[in-house]
Amino acid sequence: MRAEFPDFRLGSVLATSFTATLTERHGNAVERIPVPHRLVDWLAANGLAVDSCTTAQLDLARELRESIHAAVTAAAVRDALPASAVGIINDRSAQGRAAAILTPEGKRRWRLNSSSGVEDALSVIAADAISIIAGERDGRLALCASPTCQAAFFDTSQSRTRKWCDMNTCGNRQKKARFHANQRKTH
Ligand SMILES: [Zn+2]
């Protein structure tokens, strides 16, 4: 049954991986968390496993996602941050009670409350967005060069010249489009 839902695009940055659950925002948009159990799957894939998710919690998640999208897009082009987006990011950050836990192997994992799992997970995602927008982490916010995507991503490459949100999707598609354009020129 689950195979009929679109795959996730998992990156190394939690907040922008989360905004990438809606892709091709300027083309034929693909909603990758269309139902609550797909949000549960996405959270599990990102170290934030929860027991369950209601429709209301999915709405909360999507509201946070769009707020992060608006804020990181503004930050990438050095616009003023939209106040409503900032308000929602702060609300979600403040309303979770996730605890950072150090494992014996020296890794961090998140401990969420069983009664408020989704809200706790959203607070971790909101805090991650805050840390990249606030410039606390080594990297640069940029917008994907694909015209149908334009997603904000966090470039941690050494040269800070990454052009696409994802090499395997947007990057590849652009390369193919260029290849075909060049082929047409030579014929
Ligand atoms: Zn892209």
Q: Is 119 helix (H, G, I), strand (E, B) or coil?
A: helix
Question: Quick one: pLDDT band at residue 29, thresholds 50, 70, 90?
Answer: very high
Taking only the tens place, the pLDDT of each residue in 55-98 is: 999 999 999 999 999 999 999 999 999 999 999 999 999 999 99
Gap from CA of 79 to ligand 1 centroid (Å): 20
Gap from CA of 167 to ligand 1 centroid (Å): 8
Phi and psi at residue 146, in whole multiples of 5°?
-70, 120
- What pTM value is reported for the model? 0.91
Gap from CA of 169 to ligand 1 centroid (Å): 7
Gap from CA of 143 to ligand 1 centroid (Å): 8
Question: Quick one: pLDDT band at residue 169, thresholds 50, 70, 90?
Answer: confident
DSSP symbols for 50-68: -S---HHHHHHHHHHHHHH
Cβ neighbours around 17 below 10 Å, total: 20
Q: How far is CA 23 from the centre of its chain?
A: 10
Gap from CA of 95 to ligand 1 centroid (Å): 31
Gap from CA of 89 to ligand 1 centroid (Å): 23
Give the pair of three-digit tokens for residue 75.
């930050």
Gap from CA of 165 to ligand 1 centroid (Å): 4
Gap from CA of 2 to ligand 1 centroid (Å): 24
In this model, does residue 185 exceed pLDDT 70?
Answer: no
Question: Quick one: pLDDT band at residue 14, thresholds 50, 70, 90?
Answer: very high
Gap from CA of 37 to ligand 1 centroid (Å): 25
CA distance 182 to 187: 9
Cα angle: 109, vertex 114, 116; to 5 degrees: 95
Gap from CA of 149 to ligand 1 centroid (Å): 5
Give the pair of three-digit tokens for residue 57.
């919690």
CA distance 144 to 40: 27
Gap from CA of 170 to ligand 1 centroid (Å): 5
| Best CA proximity match to 166, nearest among 9, 2, 4, 7 | 9
Residue count (the chain):
187
Gap from CA of 164 to ligand 1 centroid (Å): 5
Residue that has been written with the tokens 């998710």 in this structure:
53
Cα angle: 36, vertex 39, 45; to 5 degrees: 150
